[in-house]
Amino acid sequence: MPRFKLTVAYDGTHFHGWQKQHPPDAVPLRTAQGVLEEAVRAVVRQPINVFGASRTDSGVHACGQVAAFDADIPVPIERLPAAITARLPDDIQVLQAEVVPDAFNVIGDVEAKGYRYSIAHGRKESCTRPLFDRHWTAWTAWPLDIELMRQAARDVVGRHDFAAFTRVNHARESTIREVHACEVTASHDARLHIDVSGEGFLWNMVRIIAGTLVEIGAGRRAVDSIPATLASGDRAQAGATFPPEGLCLEWIRYGEPGCGRQKQLARQRHGEA
């Protein structure tokens, strides 16, 4: 049975995150995975499961989420995105579909992911607080020093134990992750972007990195504090978890199909999994 890879975009405002959630004795929550899976099943007319590459939080958006499923499809591959999107609500779309090898692992074969935070800051003018794009732009009343944030962002880059930058009950065997880049750029007056990319991220990790950088930019935390925070492994030493508005999963890059198994073995050799 063929395996298909979908590139998916969604506005996360009215989703309870990506992953399907079925609370006991309650109706399932509205999630991007659940809605997408229903639409794919309607197209292929089979009881398939759709798996995603990244578990975005409630309110977090995606321009480049990746999902995969196995099925025999009744339409040509070039028509599959439109066929699925026609059965989706207006806050989620399938942008692209392709056939991938059977060895393709939508989670394990990920080489890198990229997130972008869009932030408005300051309150000298009432219009600095987002209105029409408020679901896509986070806001802080503090005016931010972007240069201080840039300096601090460099200390996030590299392979570190990010235990201080995730939820206390993260349920992961290892909190070691590699961040490839962390950049802060001004978009226009009182607006900025934080772009973070890496091999993978812990629960709330990007939101806590952003919250820490915002506190540094506001002068509430020392610009050279991140190395000590990383070394502490203590969640209480990092900044607040920034709100989901403004955070978007921009892209996911893959290695060769089946490469996930080799990466897992390498991590085990280094005591990281």
Give the pLDDT confidence of 7-55 residue by residue, as tens digits: 999 999 999 999 999 888 889 999 999 999 999 999 999 999 999 999 9
Residue 134 lies in a domain: yes
Which of 57, 102, 109, 195 is an active site residue?
A: 57
For residue range 225-263, list pLDDT tens digits in order: 999 999 999 999 999 999 999 999 999 999 988 766 555
Residue 259, in any domain of the structure: no
Whether residue 266 lies inside any domain: the answer is no
Q: Report if residue 272 sits inside a domain.
A: no
Query: What phi, psi does 193 have (nearest 5°)?
Result: -125, 140
Query: 205-230: per-residue pLDDT in tens?
Result: 999 999 999 999 999 999 999 999 99
Residue 27 and residue 150 in one domain: no
* Judgement on whether residues 121 and 95 belong to the same structural domain of the protein: no
pLDDT averaged over every residue in the chain: 92
Domain count, the chain: 2
Q: Tell me which of 100, 124, 149 is where a domain ends.
A: 100
CATH of the domain at 47: 3.30.70.580
The model carries a pTM of 0.92
Residue that is last in its domain, among 100, 130, 147: 100
Instruction: Verify whether residue 234 is a known catalytic residue.
Output: no
Cα radius of gyration rounded to whole Å, the chain: 20
By residue range, what is the domain housing residue 11? 3-100
Q: Are residues 88 and 114 in the same domain?
A: no
The reply to whether 264 falls in a domain is no
Q: Could you tell me if 60 and 191 lie in one domain?
A: no
CA distances from residue 147 to 48, 137, 153, 158, 205 in whole angstroms, order as listed? 49, 20, 10, 20, 22
Asked whether residue 268 is assigned to any structural domain, the reply reads: no
Helix, strand or coil, per DSSP, at residue 153: helix
Distance CA 199, CA 54 (A): 12
Residues 67 and 202 in one domain: no
Q: State how far the Cα of 194 lies from the Cα of 192, in Å rounded to an integer.
A: 7
Percentage of the chain beyond pLDDT 70 is 92
Same domain, 171 and 73: no
For residues 58 and 180, state if they share a domain.
no
